[in-house]
């Protein structure tokens, strides 16, 4: 077999790349080790930046997103017994976020690729990368796929990044001393917008997936397990961390999913080697506080699509050669914003009274200064492409 671009991973990055390449007349094959059902059910991020929404709509895969997504024009920072709204419509006019689950994006992209006759293969075993320096090809399940370029979109634990020889890539990492317990519940949201709540008990986030399904997160110890958090304890702690302002009551309901997510930052430099180009979680991880993971993957794919279009249409590799440098500017901005949001809102065991007073001072500044609030807003909705 032969194709122009071999893509490893059928998450948002790999599927969107395949679709955007298809629109440019560039052939690709997507290889995914998981089943289609697993990929479509895997719950991940749900906050889409303005640029991500625009990309999906322009690519012709945004009809359901526009119909079912929940546009938000602000978020609330809740601390010290009061709520403070960061108003996007005032601070960054014309830009907002949309709440729409990552698994829904994946469903839309799979449907579009299959409708267009795209080659997306699920439950593919033993994928391996070869010839990355000059003549790349992939082997899997006893078959061989020759290609001009390989795109590694297979996540942090995938096979793409480890295929690069030792000593070529540099890794920058930061682990945070806590994790997030994520909960999906069959209950109408208690707020029309996301609530980021900072308390002495720890951080909590109230989000949503639809008018009838809510998403919650609790700051927990890094070694926490879901078995330690029965439903009753989760609701008690969410109430303690969210019902901190007068008149707010948390609506509870049946919990249908829970999981613990470690908090870490990770960046690979460069994001390419030979004819291999890494995108999304294969190249970088951000703590979820700033809602940047999926959006960074889309940004990578946009850059890579333009570079591959130039390469296949003109033979010029100049944009491909500059792929990593172009992506990393945005990656490090998102890393900083995610770190900033995390340190602004979480409780650190190592903090003394001095550290806690600094955190409160910073929160007061962000919620009272239009300049500081604008910085938060423009990063949250996504910087222009």
Of the candidates 79, 217, 273, 380, the residue annotated as catalytic is 380
Query: Domain coordinates of the chain in residue numbers?
Result: 2-73+95-173+264-341, 177-263+359-381
The model's pTM: 0.95
Helices then strands (H, E): number in the chain?
12, 19
Whether the CB-CB separation of 106 and 11 falls below 8 Å is answered with yes
Which among 12, 189, 287, 288 is annotated as catalytic?
A: 288
Task: Give me the catalytic one of 72, 73, 107, 346.
Answer: 72
Asked if 19 and 109 count as a contact pair (C-beta separation under 8 A), the reply is yes
Query: Is residue 100 annotated as a catalytic residue, yes or no?
Result: no
Distance separating alpha carbons of residues 218 and 184, to the nearest angstrom: 12
Q: Up-side HSE of residue 347: CA atoms within 13 Å toward CB? A: 16
How many whole angstroms separate alpha carbon 137 and alpha carbon 94?
44
Q: Given 196, 217, 273, 323, which residue is catalytic?
A: 196
CATH number attached to the domain at 2-73+95-173+264-341: 3.50.50.60
Cα gap 363→324, rounded to integer Å: 34
Taking only the tens place, the pLDDT of each residue in 92-110 is: 999 999 999 999 999 999 9
Task: Answer yes or no: 72 catalytic.
Answer: yes
**Catalytic site includes residue 189:** no
To the query of whether residue 73 is one of the catalytic residues in this protein, the response is no
How far apart CA 292 and CA 44 sit, in angstroms, is: 12
Q: Is 253 helix (H, G, I), strand (E, B) or coil?
A: coil
Among 41, 40, 45, 34, residue whose Cα is nearest residue 261: 45
One digit per residue, pLDDT tens: the chain, 385 residues? 999 999 999 999 999 999 999 999 999 999 999 999 999 988 777 899 999 999 999 999 999 999 999 999 999 999 999 999 999 999 999 999 999 999 999 999 999 999 999 999 999 999 999 999 999 999 999 999 999 999 999 999 999 999 999 999 999 999 999 999 999 999 999 999 999 999 999 999 999 998 999 999 999 999 999 999 999 999 999 999 999 999 999 999 999 999 999 999 999 999 999 999 999 999 999 999 999 999 999 999 999 999 999 999 999 999 999 999 999 999 999 999 999 999 999 998 877 889 899 999 999 999 999 999 999 999 999 998 8
Listing DSSP states for 112-128 in one string gives HHHHTT-EEE-S----E
pLDDT confidence of residue 117: 95
May I ask the CATH architecture of the domain 177-263+359-381? 2-Layer Sandwich (3.30)
pLDDT at site 275: 98
| Edge-to-edge strand ranges of the sheet holding 97-99 | 47-48, 97-99, 70-72
Single out the catalytic residue among 19, 258, 292, 346. 292
Q: Is 329 a catalytic residue?
A: no
Query: Can you tell me the distance from the alpha carbon of 118 to that of 140, in angstroms, rounded to the nearest whole number?
Result: 18
């Amino acid at each position: 077999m032969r194709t122009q671009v071999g893509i490893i991973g059928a998450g948002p990055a790999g599927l969107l790349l395949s679709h955007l390449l298809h629109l440019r007349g560039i052939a690709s094959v997507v290889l995914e080790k998981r089943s289609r059902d697993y990929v479509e059910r895997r719950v991940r991020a749900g906050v889409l930046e303005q640029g991500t929404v625009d990309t999906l709509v322009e690519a012709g895969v945004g009809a359901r997103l526009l119909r079912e997504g929940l546009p938000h024009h602000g978020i609330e920072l809740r601390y010290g017994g009061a709520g403070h709204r960061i108003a996007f419509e005032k601070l960054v006019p014309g830009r907002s976020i949309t709440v729409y689950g990552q698994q829904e994006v994946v469903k839309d992209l799979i449907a579009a690729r299959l409708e267009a006759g795209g080659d997306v293969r699920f439950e593919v075993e033993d994928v391996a990368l070869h010839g990355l320096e000059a003549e790349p090809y992939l082997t899997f399940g006893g078959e061989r796929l020759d290609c001009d370029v390989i795109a590694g979109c297979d996540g942090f634990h995938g096979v793409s990044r480890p295929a690069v020889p030792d000593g070529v890539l540099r890794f920058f990492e930061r682990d945070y001393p806590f994790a997030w317990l994520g909960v999906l519940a069959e209950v109408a949201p208690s707020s029309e917008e996301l609530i980021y709540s900072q308390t002495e008990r720890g951080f909590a986030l109230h989000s949503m997936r639809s008018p009838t399904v809510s998403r919650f997160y609790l700051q927990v110890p890094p070694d926490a397990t879901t078995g330690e958090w029965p439903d009753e304890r989760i609701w008690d702690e969410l109430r303690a961390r969210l019902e901190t302002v007068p008149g707010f009551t948390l609506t509870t309901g049946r919990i249908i999913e829970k999981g613990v997510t470690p908090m870490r930052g990770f960046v690979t430099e460069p994001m390419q080697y030979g004819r291999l180009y890494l995108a999304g979680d294969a190249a970088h991880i951000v703590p979820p506080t700033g809602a940047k993971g999926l959006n960074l993957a889309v940004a990578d794919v946009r850059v890579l699509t333009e570079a591959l279009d130039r390469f296949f249409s003109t033979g010029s590799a100049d944009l491909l050669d500059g792929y990593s440098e172009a992506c990393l500017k945005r990656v490090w901005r998102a890393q900083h914003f995610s770190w900033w949001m995390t340190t602004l809102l979480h409780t650190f065991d190592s903090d003394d009274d001095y550290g806690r007073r600094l955190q409160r001072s910073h929160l007061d500044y962000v919620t009272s200064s239009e300049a500081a609030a604008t910085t938060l807003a423009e990063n949250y909705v996504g910087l222009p492409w």
